[in-house]
Chains A and B, each alone.
Chain A
């Protein structure tokens, strides 16, 4: 037992990642490779998101409950950057919309500036209200015009038609901007305020995206986003993929007739093209993930990282040493949110479709949290491991639950009401399950699976 503990202590990172890899391979051999790669890709995106949250939580103890809002900003920027502009809509209402937005911004800026100069509060309020009413008037006119342009297909302004990879950076910047604004207001106050404010802002971001059709089509979704990787159909025509598939399955083909060989081969190639495309995505995600891990580990071991950890471990002492805590927290909050924004952009890129209703603040924000705390807050590799474990459990427990219900169902008669009830509702138990995991880890192993190593300051 003691021996086992020693081995675990020394090699826990490699052991746990190996177990995870074996689990994924097991699913691959038993179910399908396309399924596994689908899980792996989402695990990788979750890892990036968890990394961002870990920077906020693990490095600085900042509590962000609005992860989905920042991810949604990343998603929006994919649409805005990569889609082709709808010229008709831009001609019809683009200028007017721009005017309305500038007017709105001007109203806010005037209000803030006058307030700082100490003008009469009522005068400022009146000015802002008048400005708001004008803005709203032009705004609703412009959005009506834009939404009337071919509503079944477009009905929005479209994007800039730039390469999709560019949107990953823009997504990060958009999330960083929102985070700066929230952090500026709440970080100098008590910790709870940040949590509540992030919850609020993420809800509002998602409300705006769902309701402003002129912006990114609202709940009508934006489908057919451009891709950074080749299409399956094109891959099926490429000769080298055909050759590889034929070579892999050569032993099976010897027994088949010529015509059977052709049909078999085309089926294999179809499967292989799907796997290949998903592998391309995995390649992109892994590259970004590794780059981010290296960067954040370098940062954590630099003088900057020592300062950050000093502040986290003892705010009073750090501030006595002359460190500006609020500014440091703002910096970390912005960096972490930017990474979440990048991950959000990657997620939409991978899906190829932007669906605002999938941003369920409660469910997915929470999953990312469980990932970070399970993996080990403060440890970047821990977040990655946590992301893989939790996403794997989340996906597999869905099918496991249905399987369990069917097992129970097989002992009772057909059409049993209890079984039907369970089948419809069993997936809600995943929420209970995840909540329990979170509470158990917090209580019995606050460090997570891979706790942060105690570094000397």
Chain B
């Protein structure tokens, strides 16, 4: 029966062009948003350097994987960039700990409005980081993915199922979703079960009380930066494998990441993940052209002439901002009630 096949085709189309891209983009955003929310929970400021830090981590990955490819240290079919991630995390950690030592630590030690000074300082760090990345890699977009592009391609899928519309699973999408699940699971285990994780949550909840119970603030902060470095590098690399690397693009990621964090409730890890998927699905759903989808579902007489696109692709970033504004108006604390810390 052609009707049921049409419906299956329509949903295959939607899976390929909406579900998978939105899932992987959402996972990338979620990792970035978790990094921002961790910094916020522990250090009490919004880290404007997040986007450029992701570019920094990705830069190390690009340089390393280039070196590894030239030495032929690769596994066939597997993206070399992923193999370079562990060393890149170490590099990014060193960079972040240095920045913390040189810039942020001073302001923690003196009594001062953390949020404003933190933002100003992180903007300074953002420019230094962005400048370094552009100096080393240049400002032009580039791709660094190698190995197999697809786990299964559209053609293989079509041959397998006999459908008119195919679904392709890109290696980068598969890796992104797997990595995100593993990393989030690890992070929640770490925060809920381990002693250090509990110390971090205590510190975030009530700094004075945590200090009284003998928690070492410097250690908490250092562990935070290590986690942030790992999240940042992995998020950056996965985004780059998926969509290519460009310093400007990474800088602009700041907007959807902030939107995710605030929508979910700033300082709440679960909220950051929920917010990220809300933002990514809205972006993809609103900018997708539904013409083909509707042609499958509607009778011939009602076929649309236009693209049936709700918002032009060029306003992708505007969507996250609009979501942000609506949430700020309706529920400023975010979906999962986040911290409502008045400036300390």
Contacts and interface: CB of A to CB of B under 8 A. Distances in A.
B135 A192 contact: no
Contacts of A438: 120, 123-124, 127
A442 interface: yes
A256 interface: no
A189 B332 CA distance: 8
B135 to A, nearest CB: 4
23 contacts: A65-B123, A136-B310, A190-B341, A191-B343, A192-B45, A192-B46, A193-B262, A195-B46, A195-B119, A196-B262, A199-B254, A204-B315, A204-B318, A211-B312, A369-B123, A428-B134, A432-B135, A435-B124, A435-B126, A435-B131, A439-B103, A439-B125, A442-B121
B116 A196 contact: no
A48 to B, nearest CB: 22
A435 B106 contact: no
A408 interface: no
B328 interface: yes
A204 B254 CA distance: 13
Contacts of A428: 131, 134-135, 139
Interface in A378-423: none
B86 interface: no
Interface of B: 45-46, 48, 102-103, 106, 113, 115-117, 119-121, 123-128, 130-132, 134-136, 138-139, 251-252, 254-255, 258-259, 262, 266, 310, 312, 314-315, 317-318, 320-321, 324-325, 328-329, 332, 340-343
Interface of A: 61, 63, 65, 132, 136, 185-186, 189-193, 195-197, 199-201, 203-204, 207, 210-211, 362, 366, 369, 373, 424-426, 428-436, 438-439, 442-443
Given A192-B46, A431-B127, A433-B131, 11 more contacts: A191-B113, A195-B46, A197-B325, A204-B321, A424-B138, A432-B127, A435-B128, A438-B123, A439-B125, A442-B124, A443-B106
Contacts of A191: 113, 115-116, 119, 343
B284 to A, nearest CB: 18
A371 B343 CA distance: 26
A362 B318 CA distance: 17
A136 B128 CA distance: 42
A203 B321 contact: yes
A177 to B, nearest CB: 16
B124 A196 contact: no
Given A435-B124, A435-B125, A442-B120, A203 B341 contact: no
B317 A203 contact: yes
Contacts of A439: 102-103, 121, 124-125, 128
A131 to B, nearest CB: 13
Contacts, number: 130
A435 B102 CA distance: 13
Given A424-B138, A442-B117, A207 B131 contact: no
B125 A63 contact: no
A362 B48 CA distance: 11
Contacts of B45: 192
Contact of A435 (B115, B117, B127, B315): B127
A204 B251 CA distance: 15
Contacts of A185: 325, 328-329
A127 to B, nearest CB: 16
Contacts of B315: 204, 207, 211
A107 B214 CA distance: 57
A191 B329 CA distance: 15
Given A185-B328, A196-B324, A429-B131, A204 B125 contact: no
Nearest to A373: B120
A204 to B, nearest CB: 5
A133 to B, nearest CB: 8
Contacts of B132: 432
B195 to A, nearest CB: 30
A439 B342 CA distance: 25
A426 B135 CA distance: 7
A186 B121 CA distance: 21
B255 A207 contact: no
Contacts of B134: 425, 428, 431
Contacts of B119: 63, 191-192, 195
Contact of B317 (A65, A204, A362, A425): A204
Contacts of B136: 425
Given A203-B252, A204-B317, A429 B128 contact: no
A366 B126 CA distance: 10
Nearest to B118: A192
A191 B44 CA distance: 12
Contacts of B320: 200
A438 B38 CA distance: 25
A136 to B, nearest CB: 8
A203 B255 contact: yes
Closest 6 CB pairs of A and B: A431-B131, A435-B127, A432-B131, A435-B128, A200-B321, A428-B134
Contacts of B103: 439, 443
A432 B132 CA distance: 7
Contacts of B317: 203-204, 207
A362 B251 contact: yes
Contacts of A200: 255, 258-259, 320-321, 324-325
Contacts of B115: 190-192
Given A431-B130, A432-B128, A435-B124, A190 B343 contact: yes
A196 B251 contact: no
A201 B340 CA distance: 23
